[in-house]
Amino acid sequence: MNDYLDQFIQTLRSEKYYSPHTCSNYRRDLQRFQAYLEERAIDNWTDVGYNDVSSFAAQRHRQGRKSRTIARELSSIRSFYQFLIRCSVVTKNPALDVSAPKSDKPLPKTCDPESLGQLLRVTDDHDELLLRDIAIFELIYSSGLRLAELVGIDLDDIDLTQQQLVVTGKGNKTRHLPVGSKAVIAIQRWLRVRPNYCRNNDQKALFLSKPGKRISTRNVQSRLNHLIQRQGLGQQISPHVLRHSFATHLLESSSDLRAVQELLGHANIATTQIYTHLDFQHLANVYDAAHPRARRKE
């Protein structure tokens, strides 16, 4: 069973270009399912049926796992069995018709513009790492970046003159993003002191850590926590909250759901609706106002 699992993870890396973090999630989900099967004396992927997958989902629900977690685990199992079908190991996908129990999806947390203004309002030009931090958080909020996208940016990926940025997102897909004027100014200030941290002329990363290496995601979160305390904000803010806030504030101002979807790099617009707190009533109002055959009679 482990051999096929290893082959599947390798396929995700080489063909799908999934990140190490995503591959690790797939492996963890499938190993959990494998352990469940072994408890029931099932030691071959070919012996798994619909009832086995359904019982696994039911057990996870009884254990108090969230619907979102169970849905992700079922998605991992479905993807794995599609791989086994491709390899002619099995002929059917036992997870195809198994669904997770429905539950209300929590709204993503956001930060209001006033609080973000307080967070990013720093005038200390002598703290070089603080200049870097402000550039990082201005850029995340300006362009709606995922944390992994932010740390992966190289010097050649950003054009401050044109105020444009190229990032590589999920599935190794690239997208071109605008960069706001405040982010441009913050990055320019950081670039003036960046040579002080560059220990290697071949280092292409835009944002560097104190030892001169590409900054890590953990370091970014730590520095954000430090900035929150420094600025006296009484709320928890993560880099992902900055991305949520970008999407929410942009949608509130423009009402252009499709544009927000493109900027966020979402493959499915339904994801964007959840991401930006869009409810059905708002969509209905837009539809009624825009579609010539949907307008209601006076």
**Rounded to whole angstroms, how far apart are CA atoms 27 and 4?**
11
Tell me the two tokens of residue 237. 């803010």
Tell me the two tokens of residue 216. 């890590």
Q: Which among 223, 244, 249, 266 is annotated as catalytic?
A: 266
Question: Three-class SS of residue 232?
Answer: coil
4 is catalytic: no
275 is catalytic: yes
146 is catalytic: yes
User: Which conformational region is residue 291 in: left (phi greater than 0), alpha (psi within -120 to 50 degrees), or beta?
Assistant: beta
Which residue's structure tokens are 């992902």?
240
SS (H, E, C) 34-47: HHHHHHCCCCCHHH
17 is catalytic: no
**Rounded to whole angstroms, how far apart are CA atoms 207 and 187?**
9
Q: Which among 170, 175, 182, 277 is annotated as catalytic?
A: 170
Q: Which among 32, 213, 240, 282 is annotated as catalytic?
A: 240
Tell me the two tokens of residue 13. 């890396």
Q: Which among 18, 81, 197, 275 is annotated as catalytic?
A: 275
Q: Where are the alpha helices (DSSP H) in 216-264?
A: 217-230, 239-254, 257-264
In whole angstroms, how far apart are CA 42 and each of 25, 33, 48, 77? 23, 11, 7, 15
**Rounded to whole angstroms, how far apart are CA atoms 66 and 291?**
38
240 is catalytic: yes
72 is catalytic: no
In whole angstroms, how far apart are CA 121 and each of 111, 146, 182, 246? 15, 22, 11, 17
Which residue's structure tokens are 């190490």?
20
Q: Which among 146, 194, 244, 249 is annotated as catalytic?
A: 146
Q: Which among 60, 132, 223, 243 is annotated as catalytic?
A: 243
Question: Which active-site residues does the annotation give?
Answer: 146, 170, 240, 243, 266, 275
